[in-house]
Amino acid sequence: MRARNDSPIPQILVAYFSLSGNTRRVAELIHSLVGGDLFEITTVVPYPQDYGEATRIAQAEKSRGFRPQLSSRAENFQASDLIFLGYPNWWGDLPMALYSFMEEYDFSQKTVAPFCAHGGSGMSQTERTVREKLVGARVLPGLAIRGSRVRQSEDNVKAWSRSSKFLD
Ligand SMILES: Cc1cc2nc3c(=O)[nH]c(=O)nc-3n(C[C@H](O)[C@H](O)[C@H](O)COP(=O)(O)O)c2cc1C
């Protein structure tokens, strides 16, 4: 993000991947609070909605370091200064689609605010992974929201996204 005295209005992108809608709901809330562009990361081969099937596929993809091909392109990525990056916790990790996304774009000089929907594990090691993957980016402290408590977490999301947005 540019310094305040350089440009008072950072360009914001809220990019997220979501299978069952929890991360999407958090992303939409953040977007309604901070503005900018809302972008869904999607894959050419969609994941099954069936939880058991999705977990099996995700585990197999994680164990072989698979990079699914993405079917959406964030046209305004380059112009963005601050990127809210959302994903569900999958097997204590980021979904492989997030690795594809992080490798497809140049995050240097960007500020990244990661947020994660989970079923009890919080962010696991994902915040550290984002930091390690996005060399050259400034990665802000992340936000973990339990998927079943998205609605009750609005105040948390508000406080976090505001602090991320206005950090110098
Ligand atoms: C493939 C898969 C793996 C998951 N692994 C974990 C996990 O390791 N820890 C956890 O807390 N939740 C895990 N979950 C639960 C999701 O993180 C949780 O349901 C989340 O809210 C889903 O977000 P979404 O609705 O945006 O897809 C997993 C879900 C799926 C589908």
In the predicted model, what is the mean pLDDT of residues 15-44?
97
Atom of ligand 1 nearest to the CA of 146: 21
In the predicted model, what is the mean pLDDT of residues 85-97?
98
Count of structural domains within the chain: 1
pLDDT at 32 over 60: yes
Is there a domain that residue 2 lies in?
no
Give the pLDDT score at 7.
Answer: 54
Phi and psi at 146, nearest 5°, equal -70, 130
Cα-to-centroid distance, 147 and ligand 1 (Å) = 8
Is there a domain that residue 4 lies in?
no
Place of tokens 């973990």: 144
**Gyration radius from the chain CA atoms:** 15
Is there a domain that residue 128 lies in?
yes
Q: Residue 112 contacts by C-beta under 8 Å, 6 or more apart in sequence?
A: 82, 83, 84, 85, 130, 134, 137, 138, 139, 140
Question: What CATH number corresponds to the domain at position 89?
Answer: 3.40.50.360
In the predicted model, what is the mean pLDDT of residues 135-156?
96
Mean pLDDT of the chain: 94
Give the pLDDT score at 128.
Answer: 98
Pocket test for ligand 1, best of 41, 56, 87, 90 (most atoms within 8 A of CB): 90
Domain extent, residue 91, equals 12-166
- For residue 60, the tally of other CB atoms under 10 A from its CB is 11
Is there a domain that residue 103 lies in?
yes
Place of tokens 């992974």: 129
Lining ligand 1 with CB less than 6 A are 18-24, 51, 54-55, 58, 88-92, 117-121, 147
Residues pairing with 139 in the sheet: 112
Higher pLDDT, 125 or 2: 125
Q: What is the pTM of this model?
A: 0.95
Is there a domain that residue 1 lies in?
no
Atom of ligand 1 nearest to the CA of 122: 11
Q: Are 67 and 32 a contacting pair, CB within 8 Å?
A: no
pLDDT at 147 over 90: yes
Is there a domain that residue 6 lies in?
no
Q: Atom 21, ligand 1: which residue's CA is nearest?
A: 147
Residues 116 and 81: their CA atoms lie apart, in Å, by 20
Is there a domain that residue 132 lies in?
yes
Pocket test for ligand 1, best of 118, 121, 148, 152 (most atoms within 8 A of CB): 118
Pocket test for ligand 1, best of 91, 124, 157 (most atoms within 8 A of CB): 91
> Treating both helix axes as pointing N-terminal to C-terminal, what angle do 51-63 and 96-104 enclose, rounded to 10 degrees?
50
In the predicted model, what is the mean pLDDT of residues 118-142?
97
**Weakest mean pLDDT among 1-5, 37-41, 157-161:** 1-5
Give the pLDDT score at 167.
Answer: 62
Give the pLDDT score at 113.
Answer: 97
Place of tokens 């915040």: 127
pLDDT at 52 over 70: yes
